[in-house]
Each structure stands twice: as structure tokens, then as C-alpha cells.
Amino acid sequence: MARAAPGLADTEEVSNLAQGMVRSRESEMRLMADMLAERGARP
């Protein structure tokens, strides 16, 4: 839903918030995948 919000938002504030949520979530997923890889596990 957050990925769709920037294109559908009525205000710049909502668009910016949604974009920030997506970036944060993607960063967290990369971190978790890297941590798993360091331990020899797969995501």
C-alpha cells in the first residue's frame, strides 16, 4: 500500500511520508537479509 500511495496521494506531505516508509522498509529488509547471510542462512 505504501508503494502505491505516492502516486495516489492528494498532498505532497502524504506522498513524502509514503516514500519515506518505503525507503525505511526496504533498508530494514536489506539489513535483515545481510544479517542472515552472515550467519549462513537464507531469507
Provide the pLDDT confidence category of residue 5 given band limits of 50, 70 and 90. confident
Q: Record the pTM.
A: 0.69
Q: How many CB atoms lie within 10 A of CB 6?
A: 17
pLDDT > 90? residue 3: no
* C-alpha dist (Å) from residue 30 to 9, 13, 21, 25: 27, 26, 14, 9
pLDDT digits (tens, 9 = 90+) for 10-43: 899 988 998 999 999 999 999 999 999 999 998 7
Which amino acid does the sequence have at 4?
Answer: A
| Domain ranges (residues) in the chain | 5-38
| Residue 3 phi, psi dihedral angles, 5° rounding | -70, -35
